[in-house]
A and B are shown apart, each in its own frame.
Chain A
Amino acid sequence: MKRKKKNWLLAACGLIVGAVNGLFGAGGGMLVVPVFSIVEKLEQKKSHATAVITMLPICLFSSIGYLASGVVEFKPLIFVMMGSIVGGLVGAFALCKIKNDFLVIIFYILMIFAGVFSILKQYNVI
């Protein structure tokens, strides 16, 4: 693929990534990783690492609407943040070492469960 065409494709993917991330407050990263590995042919670890820097400004901009509307409660935010900074360190070092297929599949299955439970709970089935 030509460079110019690739750039347009990246920008188009960016529009989708931004929409998803702004609306759902998550998920942009999961979409960006395959974009980099397919369009730019980056190897797996590089796609993941580059996805993190790509998502930083996107998440910053995504949080503006939420902050402006005043839904944010800062007390739980601080505690989750404390845990996740440590977790983030562990995860970033882990990425440089492991690639466990089993864990990846477990993670996706958990996602499906989480989605199904959310819907069931919303409609008071459980």
Chain B
Amino acid sequence: MQVVWLIIAGFCGGIIAGMGMGGGTLLIPVLTLFFGFSQKLSQAINLIVFLPVSIVSIFIYAKKRLIDFTVWWKVTLPASLVAVVLSFFAAQVSSSFLRVAFAVFLILIAVVQIVIFCYKKLKNGNSGRNNSK
């Protein structure tokens, strides 16, 4: 039965990840809270699971010409270097520390996103619906 729930959890996380909204921010707490996985295992699962998901999404986006191929690597290069180092660090520290730190990060980022969202709404509110552009 757990297998079915794991697939469903992956499906939901995949939808959000495919939309470029951060599937892991949802998948990781689901894995730790509902499945009782350790924080480290959940983080690792999220990272590896994202790889095929992103490849599939990239093909779809590329076809629709939604990807800006001129800028992405400027972020990716420095980020990848730091990411390797920090991933070794994360694997060393305790899962309980990581869990609390991750939780604080989740709350912070969600609050910031809500504030930005409300700010945009207020700014664009008078000029009707504003969908990008």
* Chain A residues within CB distance 8 Å of chain B: 7, 10-15, 17-36, 40, 42-69, 71-73, 76-77, 79-96, 99, 101, 104-105, 107-112, 114-119, 121-122
Contact = CB atoms under 8 A, between A and B. Distances in A.
A26 B48 CA distance: 11
Say whether chain A's binding surface is mostly helix, strand, loop, or mixed: helix
Contacts of B90: 22-25, 65-66
B79 A15 contact: yes
Interface in B75-133: 75-92, 96, 98-107, 109-111, 113-114, 116-117, 121, 131-133
Which size bracket describes the interface of B in this complex?
35 or more
Nearest to B110: A111
B15 to A, nearest CB: 4
17 contacts: A21-B83, A22-B89, A23-B86, A28-B83, A35-B75, A36-B71, A52-B67, A54-B76, A69-B88, A71-B40, A80-B27, A84-B10, A84-B52, A92-B56, A95-B18, A107-B16, A114-B30
B49 A21 contact: no
User: Would you list the 10 A-B pairs with minimal beta carbon distance, nearest first?
Assistant: A87-B14, A91-B18, A25-B43, A83-B10, A26-B24, A65-B87, A22-B86, A84-B14, A48-B20, A18-B79
